[in-house]
Structure 1
Amino acid sequence: MKTLHTVLATSLAVLLGGCMVGPDYHRPQVSVPTQYKEMPGWTAATPEAGEAPKGEWWTTFNDPLLNQLEPMVSVSNQTVQQAYANYQQAQAEVQVARASLFPTLGVTGSATKQRTGSSSSQRAISTSGSLEGNVSWAPDLWGKVRRSVEESKATAQASQATLANATLSEQVSLADALIELRVSDADIDLLQKTVDAYTEYLRVVENQGAAGTTPPSDVLTARTQLESAKSSLIALGIARAQYVHAIAVLVGKNPEELDIPHSTSLPTLPTMPVGVPSTLLQRRPDIAVAERQMAAQNAAVGVAVAAYYPSFTLSAADGFSQTPLAGLLHVANHVWSLGADASETVFDFGARHGQVAAAKAAYEAAVANYRGTVLTSLQNVEDDLSNLRILAQQADVQNAVVSNATQGAQIALNEYQAGTVDYTTAATAQATQLSAQQSALSITQQRLLDTVSLIGDMGGGWSADELNASQKSTAER
């Protein structure tokens, strides 16, 4: 038995180091520019800004509620929880695949009692039993199992990157929803000030109407303008409630559980430093997903190729058998056996060839998906940079518009009170002022949203180095 165990152990060591058919994985090259097209027009980060945000990137917006809610996404968000469960499943599949590299060990035992003889004088009761340990092993001569392990590892890493991508996506959605809520509050403040101003304008016009110095149409115009502003103010409550409900769901709460008080301040617009495009290959989890899926498909080609080669199964049994049962474990009752099976498909009408061709096509599709994901990521960042650059220019112009419109509304009201213009002129100037202020607020809103988008499109501080054993998969084969 000692010799048998030695032979099995030696065979295990030798056969585990056997060859692996199929292609070894090498990440395909992708064309990445040295810098973004928008970089020449992009405002360079101030020295205080440091490197691009990492980890808790949302803190750059200096919003206490955002800082409080964002950590809840990775814990309570149900989309993230689903992605986490999928990752756990993928990790378990790696364990299942790896188990096929090793022998299967088992123990069987039996005991039988029977009566023999046809007459009462000849009847006898006998007992028998056996106790046996068995080993079965299919050595991975061609690397099919190891390619399967390689495929499962890459799939698990893709699932881990999918989890990171889902977390980042939900964090971005939460930041967007909170910005929309803050802008909604700012719009409410703006309309409330407008309602207060229109109320005062109506009082002035009504006094002039009562004195007979202004026609009734001016009173109706002022009242209509005020009621219209009140209606718009009430309508903002719908959007605000929906943003609060969306935020609650994003942090894993029922919509009625979360109550967010009105805020009078907007998040800070951070200055965002931008690195070189090649960093996206490491920082964007969706690119990591595509790259790991590509690696998994490459391993699947090896699994398909291995089907061309014969399979072997080694078996051994060692134990005791005795009739009668007494003295079962005595050395004289020792039994053992060794066996080997081999199988090879001689002709399958092209099934294996088709499986290899399908695996290779799936790999090429994964390569195209990877390169397409990289191109899309570059497009995303270019879009964000151009949007922010143009919006910064528009904000400067719109601020001048607001200043001029505010001054014009005040002049028109003064002229109306002096009797040099009708109220329609003053009302138009007031409406122009409100429109200019709302446009300025909308531009600020879009700059905040595009900044969040830029952070998300640059990976939000995530790194592919966080993938489990991402650099060790080859060494462990």
Structure 2
Amino acid sequence: MRNCLFRTVAAVALAVGLAGCVPSIPAPPDTSAVAAPESWRTKFTGGAIADGEWWQAFGDPTLVALVEQARENNADIAIALARVQEARAQERASRALLLPALNASIPASHGRSLTALGTAVETTVAQPQFQASYELDLFGRNRAQIDAAAANALASDAARQATVLSVTSATATGYVTLLALDERLRVLRETLTSREAALRIARSRADAGYTSDLELRQAEAEYHATQQQIPVVETALARQENALSLLTGNTPGDIMRGGRFAALRHPAVPALVPSELTGRRPDIVQAEYALAATDARLRAAQRQFLPQVQLSATVGEIIGSSLRDNVDFWSIGGSVLAPIFAGGRLRGQFDAAVAQRDQAAFAYQRAVLRAFREVEDQLAVITRLDDQEKALSGQRDAVASSLRHATNRYRVGYSTYLEQVDAQRALLSVDLALIQLRNDRLTALIALYQAVGGSPRP
């Protein structure tokens, strides 16, 4: 009894002594701290709640169907989901550290040997046994490892949500761009039709001797200049359809359209204060859980300096052909493993864990700052595109009027064909610029919904 008490006191004294050698965990660097601004730098009017299936606000059922198909079949989302399942399995495996390990074994042998009298005998021996071992988590090292695995699982799920949001945004952007290309192609074909009519007039006037061949060649040049732009847009359409097919988990093929580009509605700018952003963005949530995982691993590295207490028990039976009766056996024991000298290995692991924690802290800071910047960028684009569209629409009205006057003057012989050509070029350029501007506005709204966290969960 005294020996047992002495060993207990000695173990406690050893643990207390080693505790004085345990390094303290430093705080994260002050420079990694980040605070949300009180308001956005770019002022905007209106606003909508950035929740739910925001892609439905564009008013195109085909867009909605493509987004849902992509969220269901996209390979990147499937990979992200498999990573979540892997992380959760590792978390379940780590929880076994808090439970005892139970094993059973049945060693057996059969052999022939000589006795002391020189007689050959054959013996059969079996020794079934049951073993149990358990580590007392006195200082929380195993619990810290479990916390790290749990945080990793949550970070993996946040990464999956970020992938879902990214695929959703890419699909919506791809479909809007596809409709914009359709509209661009329609304008070019209508322009080509008008160029063809102008070419017929120029050819008839040249054949009749009313004009020189210069006007005919100018009309031919304008016709072919417009004609060569159509294959370029058709190629872009095919590539855009192929990209959307990949996003939706299909082989390259045609993409159905739900309506024309002009029929797409413009969703309202999502209303969100900066302080709400960190809880909505899945990439920020992922960085936060990654930081929590490094904190837990750092605690586990610190606990490596403290003793480990192991308990073990064995019970079994010896069965042999040379024994008259079977023999039962059992044992109960324990051990205390205390680090004394490891050549700097434990300190090196601890310092590495500190550095990993600091890296995760700066990664979290970077994710937050990047999120604020992305929201501000899209708000700046959207608020200025309104003014740009107003100016471009005014330019379009002026150019269209100029073309009408130039056409009338040319038909009655008051001006050369060059005036009409210049007006036609200007109108085509403005029409294509308007299509691109409206496409930029819609894609900026999509990017803004992605920047504020959207609705990542499928």
TM over 0.5: yes
Q: Is the 8 A contact 1:25 1:299 kept in 2?
A: no
* Alpha-carbon distance, 1:75 to partner: 2.5
* Alpha-carbon distance, 1:390 to partner: 0.2
Tell me the equivalent position of 1:281. 278
Q: Provide the C-alpha distance between the structure 1 equivalents of 2:417 and 2:193, rounded to a whole number of angstroms.
A: 18
Q: Provide the C-alpha distance between the structure 2 equivalents of 1:357 and 1:217, rounded to a whole number of angstroms.
A: 81
Tell me the equivalent position of 2:105. 108
Q: Is the 8 A contact 1:21 1:143 kept in 2?
A: no
1:165 to 162, 166, 177: 162
* Alpha-carbon distance, 1:164 to partner: 0.8
Q: Provide the C-alpha distance between the structure 1 equivalents of 2:119 and 2:200, rounded to a whole number of angstroms.
A: 125
Q: Provide the C-alpha distance between the structure 2 equivalents of 1:114 and 1:167, rounded to a whole number of angstroms.
A: 65
**Secondary structure, counterpart of 2:106 in structure 1:** strand
**Secondary structure, counterpart of 1:240 in structure 2:** helix
Q: Is the 8 A contact 2:103 2:131 kept in 1?
A: yes
Residue type matched to 2:328 in 1? Answer: H
**Secondary structure, counterpart of 1:100 in structure 2:** helix
Residue type matched to 2:174 in 1? Answer: A
- Per-residue Cα deviation, 1:133-175 (whole angstroms, up to 9, x for no partner): 1101122121111111111111111111111111111221111
Counterpart check, 1:37 vs 2:41 = yes
Tell me the equivalent position of 1:458. 452
Q: Provide the C-alpha distance between the structure 2 equivalents of 1:122 and 1:438, rounded to a whole number of angstroms.
A: 107
* Alpha-carbon distance, 1:326 to partner: 8.6
Tell me the equivalent position of 1:264. 260
Residue type matched to 1:395 in 2? Answer: E
* Alpha-carbon distance, 1:455 to partner: 0.5
* Alpha-carbon distance, 1:372 to partner: 1.7
1:410 to 398, 404, 408: 404
Residue type matched to 2:211 in 1? Answer: T
Q: Provide the C-alpha distance between the structure 2 equivalents of 1:462 and 1:327, rounded to a whole number of angstroms.
A: 72
* Alpha-carbon distance, 1:351 to partner: 2.4
Counterpart check, 1:53 vs 2:51 = yes
Tell me the equivalent position of 1:6. none
Tell me the equivalent position of 2:314. 317
Q: Is the 8 A contact 1:21 1:302 kept in 2?
A: no
Q: Provide the C-alpha distance between the structure 2 equivalents of 1:57 and 1:340, rounded to a whole number of angstroms.
A: 61
**Secondary structure, counterpart of 1:385 in structure 2:** helix
Q: Provide the C-alpha distance between the structure 2 equivalents of 1:395 and 1:219, rounded to a whole number of angstroms.
A: 36
1:359 to 333, 353, 361: 353
- Per-residue Cα deviation, 1:313-366 (whole angstroms, up to 9, x for no partner): 1110112223338997x7xx3321011122222122332222222211221221
Kindly report which structure 2 residues correspond to 1:187-266, keeping only aligned pairs within 5 A, or say none: 187-255=184-252, 257-260=253-256, 264-266=260-262
Q: Is the 8 A contact 1:133 1:317 kept in 2?
A: yes
* Alpha-carbon distance, 1:415 to partner: 0.6
* Alpha-carbon distance, 1:114 to partner: 3.4
Residue type matched to 1:37 in 2? Answer: R
Q: Provide the C-alpha distance between the structure 2 equivalents of 1:120 and 1:327, rounded to a whole number of angstroms.
A: 20
What percentage of aligned pairs have identical amino acids?
26
* Alpha-carbon distance, 1:116 to partner: 4.1
1:153 to 150, 155, 158: 150
* Alpha-carbon distance, 1:208 to partner: 2.2
Unaligned runs of 5+ in 2: 1-18
* Alpha-carbon distance, 1:22 to partner: 7.2
Backbone CA RMSD of aligned residues:
2.6
- Alignment coverage as a number of residue pairs: 435
Q: Provide the C-alpha distance between the structure 2 equivalents of 1:273 and 1:259, rounded to a whole number of angstroms.
A: 29
* Alpha-carbon distance, 1:121 to partner: 9.4
Q: Is the 8 A contact 2:176 2:261 kept in 1?
A: no
Deviates more, 1:391-400 or 1:27-36: 27-36
Deviates more, 1:258-267 or 1:241-250: 258-267
Kindly tell me: are residues 299 and 452 of structure 1, through their superposed partners in 2, closer, same or farther at Cα, counting changes over 3 Å? same
Kindly tell me: are residues 434 and 327 of structure 1, through their superposed partners in 2, closer, same or farther at Cα, counting changes over 3 Å? farther
Tell me the equivalent position of 2:443. 449
* Alpha-carbon distance, 1:422 to partner: 0.4
1:143 to 131, 137, 140: 140
Deviates more, 1:139-148 or 1:25-34: 25-34
Q: Is the 8 A contact 1:185 1:262 kept in 2?
A: no
Residue type matched to 1:277 in 2? Answer: P
Q: Is the 8 A contact 1:161 1:286 kept in 2?
A: yes
**Secondary structure, counterpart of 2:131 in structure 1:** strand
Tell me the equivalent position of 1:376. 370
Q: Provide the C-alpha distance between the structure 1 equivalents of 2:456 and 2:164, rounded to a whole number of angstroms.
A: 10
Deviates more, 1:302-311 or 1:316-325: 316-325
Q: Provide the C-alpha distance between the structure 2 equivalents of 1:22 and 1:177, rounded to a whole number of angstroms.
A: 52
Tell me the equivalent position of 2:14. none
**Secondary structure, counterpart of 1:346 in structure 2:** coil
Kindly tell me: are residues 296 and 202 of structure 1, through their superposed partners in 2, closer, same or farther at Cα, counting changes over 3 Å? same
* Alpha-carbon distance, 1:89 to partner: 1.1
Q: Is the 8 A contact 1:22 1:303 kept in 2?
A: no
Q: Provide the C-alpha distance between the structure 1 equivalents of 2:142 and 2:116, rounded to a whole number of angstroms.
A: 59
**Secondary structure, counterpart of 2:107 in structure 1:** strand
Question: What TM-score do the two structures reach when normalised by structure 1?
Answer: 0.85
